[in-house]
Structure 1
Amino acid sequence: MSEPSISVVVLTYNRMAQLIDTLMRLRALPERPPIVVADNGSTDDTVHRVAMLFPDVTIVQCGANLGAGGRNLAVDCVRTDYVAFCDDDTWWKPGSLAHAVRLLDAYPQVGILNARIEVGEARETDPISTLMQHSPLDATGLPGPSLVGYMAGASVMRTAMFLQIGGYDARYFIGGEEERVALDVLAAGHAIVYCAACAIAHHPSPLRDSALRRRMLARNAAWTAWQRLAVSDACRATARAIECFRKEGTLWQDGFALLRGLRWALRERRRVPERVAAMLAEVRLDARAPHRESLRSELPQRQV
């Protein structure tokens, strides 16, 4: 048999039952990809159970909850050209990884593919996927709609590119951690593409803190804006974050954390090229169109 071209990295923390189900589905894929689990310091016997049930799965023990940064340690173990990401409550559908490999082989300018997300037993297409399908950006020469962002747990990347840009920043923890990575990928000259033919199933775990996720999304968006975008964009993102903290009753705690993080965010500031800023502006303008309002109203429920 030929050597595999793609591996799967699964991020997990204290969701052993969901992880075991996901690993069973991933092992049954016809592509038979190598699987690497990044365990963010689980305390529910995850590591022992996975090692016992799936001896062929590589387990990376992060030693603590690094959030999205745990994926970096897992990718260090990847030996294939491409790496697909999922979480412990998502899994790739049969044939999707093989299709992703064919596209990435054929289109070297593409750095990231974002899969179509099917939610729950009803397999409804997530509204985020629908928005991506109707991206307003020019997709000439690309195998699908051009994007300025992607979903970390439903993406396929070039392994070398991921390592070159440095992966995810552990200081972001989790929630919108993809935004800065996406900007750096675009700035480096790679494209991000939506691929409806690649599908990932998402059965959202009930073990999640929605309020914390909302606050992390707001904080991380502000940090990313100060690191990569215009000052006006950064000020608006900061104002939105402060308003989020106020509504959640965590203004002092989260506001202080946001301001403290600005020290390193400004120190590492590097504006994206004008062509990337123009892409962002086009997407924002399209988002304000009347035909987008009903669809976007569904996003907060799906993003937590």
Structure 2
Amino acid sequence: MSDVTIVVATRDRAAELRRSLARHTAPVIVVDNASADGTAEVARRAGARVLRLPDNRGAAARNLGVREAPTRYVAFADDDSWWAPGALEHAAAVLDAHPGTALVAARVLVGEREHLEPVSEHMARSPLGMPDGLPGRAILGFLACSAVVRRDAFLGVGGFSGTLHFAGEEELLALDLAAAGWGLAYLPELVVHHHPSPDRPGASHRRRREARNRLLTAWLRRPLATCARTALASLATAEGRGGLADAARMWPQVARARRRLPPDVERARASLDRY
């Protein structure tokens, strides 16, 4: 039996899923966010287990897949990404050897030319160093399609936020894992291939959503001064101002959910702000 289950959350990407599922080498659970294009049938034909949702729950759909996974570890993939051969076996061995680590993040190679994803480059230069007990450089963020998580740790902190939906949802989970005492590490020897689908929201829409989620994440976990600086910085662009307006509309939903990070985690996160 595999030590790792792959969880893919998707919506209306049947063509992309048909290509990517053929490249997976571990059992796959596809969580279908209310697709209308035959995504579920494509996944079933490819041999994946399918969980169909009645509505689009965004990144939080992955939580359902993790709950259903029978393995100790879960790897996330997008409908247009896949793990390189041997990567998941190595990730499981690393997590076995480092019981205080909840998440390892891989190096992401993009497109046919396999250029390095900028987020992977940033993780490789993380100023957080390599604390004792971690298998690699410490991080407080990641790309979801590059992560292998310890299932119990992920579920213990509640998984991905339903409030954030998609775009930049990873930071809040990273902070919550760190606040719970878990380590997160970047392992460049793990490789993910990502061939971005042409059927994606426009760049402006995504930047607006990312700005909104930065603001919400700051409010939910960071000091008020950081919230103010994040809000002020968002005024510099049209997408940022839109994200600020979107975050303000969600205020009633998040007002009472604020929970400050432990001081050591806040210090680590603040060091990334200065980097």
Tell me the TM-score normalized by structure 1.
Answer: 0.86
Residue equivalent to 1:117:
108
Deviations 1:103-161 (A, max 9, x none): 00000111110100011111122222122112111313221111111111210001111
Deviations 1:189-234 (A, max 9, x none): 1011001111100101111112221111100110111110000111
Q: How many Å separate the matches in 1 of 2:4 and 2:225?
A: 40
Residue equivalent to 2:34:
41
1:250 to partner: Cα distance = 7.4
| 1:285 and 2:270 are equivalent in the alignment | no
Within 5 Å, which residues of 2 pair with 1:213-252?
213-244=206-237, 247-248=238-239, 251=242
1:243 to partner: Cα distance = 4.3
Residue equivalent to 2:9:
11
Residue equivalent to 1:93:
84
Within 5 Å, which residues of 2 pair with 1:124-139?
124-139=115-130
SS in 2 for 1:43: coil
Q: Which amino acid aligns with 2:177?
A: V
Q: How many Å separate the matches in 2 of 1:172 and 1:140?
A: 30
| 1:147 and 2:147 are equivalent in the alignment | no
Within 5 Å, which residues of 2 pair with 1:171-190?
171-190=163-182
| Native 8 Å contact 1:226 1:262 kept in 2 | no
| 1:274 and 2:267 are equivalent in the alignment | no
SS in 2 for 1:204: coil
1:242 to partner: Cα distance = 4.6
| Native 8 Å contact 1:11 1:71 kept in 2 | yes
Q: How many Å separate the matches in 1 of 2:244 and 2:92?
A: 43
| Native 8 Å contact 2:111 2:193 kept in 1 | yes
Deviations 1:31-75 (A, max 9, x none): xx2210011111111112322x22x31101122211101111211
Residue equivalent to 1:70:
61
Identical pairs, percent: 37
Residue equivalent to 1:107:
98
Residue equivalent to 1:265:
254
Q: How many Å separate the matches in 2 of 1:42 and 1:184?
A: 30
Q: Which amino acid aligns with 1:105?
A: D
SS in 2 for 1:130: helix
Q: How many Å separate the matches in 2 of 1:64 and 1:148?
A: 30
Deviations 1:250-296 (A, max 9, x none): 74xx554311322332301111011111111222222xxxxxxxxxx
Unpaired runs of 5+ in structure 2? Answer: none
| 1:192 and 2:181 are equivalent in the alignment | no
Residue equivalent to 2:48:
57
Unpaired runs of 5+ in structure 1? Answer: 287-304
More helix by share: 1
Tell me the TM-score normalized by structure 2.
Answer: 0.94
RMSD over aligned Cα atoms: 1.6
Q: How many Å separate the matches in 2 of 1:102 and 1:267?
A: 40
Q: How many Å separate the matches in 1 of 2:87 and 2:240?
A: 42
Q: Which amino acid aligns with 2:71?
A: T
